[in-house]
């Protein structure tokens, strides 16, 4: 159900017309086979999977009402939206809210005054997102100069889709050492359907296409290329960039890009957009863990598909945030006031605790780090160990690119900078679902004194906590002072010291 209400905004004496866009999701279970292979109890909205994308314009206010017909709490997160002055709408279950109880409903208010671009919305309570509750959110830019750079806007969503509810998949992974079978790897969905049956994208000679690519994945990575065409990157994770010519995109879970592709003048050939589905930190099983798909790019129905020689990844010019610059020319944030060091450690399984945690010295394989409430400047990456052959890469200009999600590759570090200008509670975690569920996350509490003075959580949220049996007062255990009775105590990570150091 989608409804629109118009209202007038006044700013600086100028009248601007914006929309209040109201979307309702009746969230419930669906017994469905999205890939034509496995039918299981997934989670959808309004009896649908895939959930239709949401399109709004910069300056609009999105009111997203979720009605919970599940048998467990529910929360929704708008991935990449800053939620300024409304951290309680960030939608992270048991971090910024207790969740919407079964049978209840709640409306998230998402303002877009200072953001536009390509985003997505997904559930952020347990495994509800990977089990289906996700869709793209497009906030159209109103900048006439940018709109003049392309003729058509095309959305391409990329998803991983399992063969059973993810809770069941996790149980299988925990017993994989005791059973003689490989893991049950997911299927690729492109624009909501099995990638083996991808629908064509039609090109007309000479037209310029803005292709918005959204990795709505929770487990695997995607590589995207269109041989014979150049991609001009103009956006990464909702941040407009100066055009940067590349051959392809290497996308981790949660990342988004916009590229402009100028169609060829000839109708002689059709082409294939190559989509590679891969995961570097598990044993490669040909035809199972790395999958190759093609989206037809059709110039003429009767034209043959032009083929190109296979080239190695190291020969491809991939999009690289360290080689990009933002369109708004934001300068490098300096001087640095505080340094926070977070390294990732895999815990021994015999501790009987979550597999991954933030500590010192060691690291888990290939975490994906989205930053809630902020876009960060990417300034440097390199090897953890000095004797590594991995090169150190630094941004060499004065206006580093910003984004909100990045891969922390095995054995490497990345340095990012943020401006602490958004008071709130922001959950930073790995977007690889198994890592997230296994404890790979931490909470950034920004300007708590300002929060106490200026932020007021909606009364419905407080009532939801009461219904679900969670305290709304005291410390993280709902008790006074340092009394943490009733919650799990911090785990002493072997060989690890405190992983945060602050320098003013």
Q: What is the pLDDT of residues 237-249, one digit of tens each?
A: 999 999 999 999 9
Q: Which residues, including other chains, have CB under 8 Å from residue 68's CB and lie 6 or more apart? A: 27, 74, 100, 101, 102, 103, 104, 105
DSSP code at position 265: S
Minimum mean pLDDT range among 40-49, 261-270, 378-387: 378-387
State the pLDDT at residue 490.
57
What's the pLDDT band for 340 if we cut at 50, 70, 90? Answer: confident
What's the pLDDT band for 5 if we cut at 50, 70, 90? Answer: very low
Mean pLDDT of 35-59: 96
What's the pLDDT band for 487 if we cut at 50, 70, 90? Answer: confident
Mean pLDDT of 405-433: 84
CB atoms under 10 Å from CB of 464, counted, come to: 22
Minimum mean pLDDT range among 54-58, 339-343, 440-444, 496-500: 496-500
Residue spans of alpha helices (H) in 246-334: none
* Most confident of the ranges 183-192, 358-367, 388-397, 409-418: 388-397
Mean pLDDT for the chain?
85
State the pLDDT at residue 128.
94
State the pLDDT at residue 2.
38
State the pLDDT at residue 392.
92
State the pLDDT at residue 9.
40
Q: Which residues, including other chains, have CB under 8 Å from residue 264's CB and lie 6 or more apart? A: 203, 205, 228, 229, 299
Please tell me the distance from the alpha carbon of residue 324 to that of residue 233, in angstroms, as a whole number: 9
Contact 329, 235 (CB under 8 A): no
pLDDT beyond 90 at 129? yes
pLDDT beyond 50 at 199? yes
Q: How much of the chain, in percent, has pLDDT values that exceed 90?
A: 60
Structure tokens belonging to residue 39? 């039918």
Q: What are phi and psi of 26, to 5 degrees?
A: -90, 100
Q: Could you read off the pLDDT of 24-39 as tens digits, one per residue?
A: 999 999 999 999 988 9
Mean pLDDT of 87-110: 94
Q: Could you read off the pLDDT of 135-144 as tens digits, one per residue?
A: 999 999 988 8
pLDDT beyond 80 at 447? yes
DSSP-assigned states of every residue in 412-462: EEEEEE----S-EEEEEE-SSHHHHHTT-EEEEEE-HHHHHHH----HHHH
What's the pLDDT band for 499 if we cut at 50, 70, 90? Answer: very low
């Amino acid at each position: 159900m989608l409804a629109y209400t118009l209202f007038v905004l006044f700013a600086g004496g100028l009248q601007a017309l914006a929309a209040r866009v109201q979307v309702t999701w009746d969230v419930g279970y669906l017994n469905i086979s999205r890939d034509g292979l496995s039918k299981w109890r997934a989670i959808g909205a309004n009896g649908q999977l895939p959930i239709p994308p949401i399109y709004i314009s910069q300056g609009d206010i999105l009111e997203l009402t979720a009605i919970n017909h599940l048998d467990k709490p529910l929360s929704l997160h708008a991935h990449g939206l800053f939620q300024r002055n409304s951290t309680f709408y960030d939608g992270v279950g048991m971090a910024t809210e207790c969740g919407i109880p079964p049978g209840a409903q709640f409306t998230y208010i998402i303002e877009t005054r200072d953001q536009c671009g390509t985003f997505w919305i997904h559930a952020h309570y347990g495994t509800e997102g990977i089990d289906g509750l996700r869709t793209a959110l497009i906030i159209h830019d109103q900048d006439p100069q940018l709109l003049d750079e392309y003729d058509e806007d095309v959305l391409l969503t990329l998803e991983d889709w399992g063969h059973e509810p993810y809770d069941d998949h996790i149980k299988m992974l925990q017993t994989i050492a005791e059973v003689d079978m490989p893991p049950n790897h997911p299927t690729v969905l492109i624009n909501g359907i099995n990638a083996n049956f991808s629908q064509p994208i039609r090109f007309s000679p000479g037209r310029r296409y803005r292709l918005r690519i959204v990795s709505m994945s929770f487990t695997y990575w995607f590589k995207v290329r269109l041989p014979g065409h150049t991609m001009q990157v103009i956006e990464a994770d909702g941040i407009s960039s100066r055009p940067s010519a590349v051959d392809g995109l290497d996308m981790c879970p949660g990342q988004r890009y916009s590229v402009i592709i100028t169609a060829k003048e000839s109708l002689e050939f059709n082409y294939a957009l190559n989509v590679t589905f891969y995961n570097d930190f598990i044993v490669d099983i040909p035809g199972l863990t790395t999958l190759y798909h093609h989206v037809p790019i059709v110039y003429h129905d009767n034209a043959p598909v032009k083929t190109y020689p296979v080239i190695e990844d190291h020969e491809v010019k991939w999009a690289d945030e360290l080689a990009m610059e933002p369109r708004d020319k934001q300068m490098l944030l300096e001087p640095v006031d505080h340094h926070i060091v977070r390294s990732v450690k895999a815990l021994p399984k015999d501790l009987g605790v979550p597999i991954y945690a933030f500590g010192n010295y060691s690291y888990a394989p290939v975490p994906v780090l989205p930053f809630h409430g902020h876009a960060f400047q990417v300034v440097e990456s390199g090897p953890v160990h000095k004797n590594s052959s991995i090169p150190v890469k630094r941004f060499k200009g004065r206006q580093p690119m910003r984004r909100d999600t990045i891969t922390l590759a095995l054995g490497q570090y990345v340095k990012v900078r943020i401006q602490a200008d958004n008071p709130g509670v922001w959950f930073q975690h790995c977007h690889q679902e198994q890592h997230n569920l296994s404890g790979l996350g931490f909470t950034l509490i920004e300007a708590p004194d300002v929060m106490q003075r200026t932020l007021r959580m909606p009364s419905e949220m407080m009532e939801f906590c009461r219904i679900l049996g969670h305290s709304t007062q005291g410390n993280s255990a709902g008790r006074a002072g340092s009394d943490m009775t009733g919650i799990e105590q911090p785990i002493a990570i072997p060989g690890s010291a405190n992983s945060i150091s602050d320098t003013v």
